[in-house]
Chains A and B, each alone.
Chain A
Amino acid sequence: MPIVLEHLSHTYFDGATSNAAVKDVSLEIREGEFLSVIGHTGCGKTTLVQHLNGLLLPSAGRVLVDGLDTADKKQRPRIRALVGMVFQYPEYQLFADTVREDVGFGPKNMKLPEAEIALRVSEAMAMVGLSMDQFAEKSPFELSGGEKRRAALAGILAMRPKYLVLDEPMAGLDPQGRQNILGMLEQLRQDTGCSIIMVSHSMEDVARHADRILVMDHGEVKYLDTPKAVFSHSDELSQMGLSLPAPCRVAALLRQKGVDAPADICTREDLEAFLTRRLRS
């Protein structure tokens, strides 16, 4: 079963003024898909994803996670176990004395038996590439930046979410670190079949990894489609203040110069295939 958003709206009240951050959004997040959410800062994407596990509740409409309504307080623990949520800079939420304890915080809140917690902790740490021998008894505050990020991620994975929501999981990492996280997410999806919902500003990553892209603008859904389809709207995206993946930009420039580069070029490979095909013949 999917996550279903039905006419979801969310309005923030700040004293006298109200601000509609999400307006009448209806969509479905499929099981096992890699969905990327893009949009410039303040477009409502963070507000939207915080509805997926009931951290925020709809002002109007509803959110159903595998049929469970997030507005129902009794269902919320189950919903939070189904939908794992990784915040921006998740390393800032580490708190326990040891990495083992921190990663086990989620499973412990789920009231799982000790043996099961231990199993999940070692499983999650293996997934993010932190060896138990080396890291389990260390203080999370002694780790390097990249290791902290991975430990925090393990803390969510240990809950074995069916849907994993990530808000800019690669922010602030060096190129190596970014590749590690992306590779890990792909591996995770292959191994467990979980859905990945990733908010990201990195258009190249989005174009390469996402099955579908959700484009938000002023609290509304602008596009929800495959990367090729979404990035073919190059003019509209630029108007929204969104950058395009570099290969897209090159293709658009070539079109301006009269070269018949197809509109659905969105990864490096697409562009290179087109160029070599055309330039050889």
Chain B
Amino acid sequence: MIEFKGVRFRYDNEGPEALQGVDLEIPDGIFLVVAGHNGSGKSTLSKHINGLLLPTEGQVLVNGLDTRDENNLLSIRQQVGMVFQNPDNQLVTTIVEEDVAFGPENLGVPSPEIRVRVDEALKKVGMTAYAESAAHRLSGGQKQRIAIAGMLAMEPKILVLDEATAMLDPKGREELLQTVYELNRKNGMTVIMITQYMEEAVMADRVVVMNGGQIVMDDVPQAIFSRGDELRALGLDVPEIVRIREDLQKAGVSLPLTVLTDSQLAEALCPLF
């Protein structure tokens, strides 16, 4: 479990507060999406989870470990895998399997076990065939999956994706989301996904919307997407399907709020014909 308790943060002494009192509890095994426009504080929030940033005020606890205690950091970072936005800037070595091994190597895992972990991690993200490839020759989506494998090899309990889909093409994005979704459903990994694409919030268990360094909404996707006008006022949007549902509602065709995807919409429309 991750707990934010009254977290405030500023990047420098004069600047504005990037986090203005955040209280948040993230239970184990959840798929949580944190949404917000650029500068809403969502990335600042994510970097608090593994102690890359430390709260100016308040505290962050990861499975009970306080990120402000330097002795906890290694253990916290082993438990929290973090994937960043730019696929090019998080792979450390040229060859894929050596990169995946980087985390466990740092943790001092014995060589034979690293081998096992690397193979397993590559299998989980479906990249076994690329173990000996040069990292820079892969597509963006493949690089991000290697980055995830690099985290899995540390055997974390929590996976944080900090706008990890932002630079990918639709295919790469789809593959990444599928990989993450499976890790959550099959392996019970806690997934925290930071994004500005509301389509990605559809499959979440819970969505937190940030604005001005504060949490302004915190609910299940269906409830969040029923507040389309508020979202747009926050510089966000609703998925196209939800937009269509809104418009139909205005035109007198009422559909249930649980309609979030194309197949759900088609399903709901069919009986009306």
Our count of residue pairs bridging A and B at CB distance below 8 angstroms stands at 82
Point out the residues of chain B lying under 8 angstroms from A279, CB to CB: 253, 272-273
Q: Answer whether residue A276 sits at the interface, using C-beta atoms and an 8 A cutoff.
A: yes
A177–B236 alpha-carbon span in the complex (Å): 10
Judge whether A272 and B37 touch: CB under 8 Å: no
**Which of B235, B247, B269 is packed against the most chain A CB atoms within 10 Å?**
B269
* Chain A 223-264 near chain B by CB (<8 Å), digits 1 or 0: 000000000000000000101011101100110110100000
B244 contacts A201, CB within 8 Å? no
A41-B139, A272-B247, A279-B273 known; A204 and B240 CB under 8 Å? yes
In whole angstroms, how far apart are the Cα atoms of A250 and B263 in the complex? 7
Query: Is the beta-carbon distance between A250 and B265 smaller than 8 angstroms?
Result: yes
> For the complex, what is the distance from the CA of A243 to the CA of B166, rounded to whole Å?
17
Say whether B129 faces chain A, with CB atoms less than 8 Å apart.
no
Bound Cα distance from A244 to B92, whole angstroms:
36
- Asked if B65 is an interface residue, CB under 8 A from chain A, the answer is no
Interface residue B116 (Cβ < 8 Å from any Cβ of A)? no
Q: Which of A163-179 contact B (CB under 8 A)?
A: 171-177
Alpha-carbon distance between A175 and B167 when the two chains are bound, in angstroms = 14
| B170 is an interface residue with CB less than 8 A from chain A | yes
A175-B237, A276-B251, A279-B253 known; A247+B38 contact, CB < 8 A: no
Given A172-B167, A246-B244 in contact, is the A275-B253 Cβ separation under 8 Å? yes
Q: Is the CB of B39 within 8 A of A250?
A: no
User: Which residues 219-273 of B have a CB within 8 angstroms of A?
Assistant: 235-237, 239-241, 243-244, 247-248, 251-253, 262-263, 265-266, 269-270, 272-273
Check if A268 is an interface residue, CB within 8 A of chain B.
Answer: yes
Residue in A40, A175, A204, A275 whose CB lies within 8 Å of B37? A175
B269 touches A145 (CB 8 A): no
B28 located at the interface, meaning its Cβ lies under 8 Å from any Cβ of chain A in the complex: no
Interface size class of A (residues with CB under 8 A): 20 to 34
CB–CB B244/A171 < 8 A: no
Q: Main SS of the interface on chain A?
A: helix
Min Cβ gap B246→A in Å is 10
CB-defined contacts of B273 to chain A, threshold 8 Å: 259, 278-279
In the bound assembly, the distance between CA atoms of A253 and B263 in angstroms comes to 7
Is A79 in contact with chain B by the CB < 8 A criterion? no
Interface string of B150-180 (1 = CB under 8 A from A): 0000000000000000110111100000000
Would you call B244 and A250 a contact (CB within 8 A)? yes
Given A175-B37, A201-B169, A279-B253, A272-B244 contact (CB < 8 Å) = yes
Q: Could you write out 12 A-B pairs with CB less than 8 Å apart?
A: A40-B169, A41-B139, A174-B235, A175-B37, A246-B240, A259-B270, A268-B247, A271-B244, A276-B252, A276-B253, A278-B273, A279-B272
Across the A-B interface, give the 5 residue pairs with the lowest CB-CB distance, nearest first: A253-B266, A246-B240, A175-B237, A176-B235, A174-B196
- List residues of chain B with CB under 8 Å of any chain A CB: 37-39, 139, 166-167, 169-172, 196, 198, 235-237, 239-241, 243-244, 247-248, 251-253, 262-263, 265-266, 269-270, 272-273
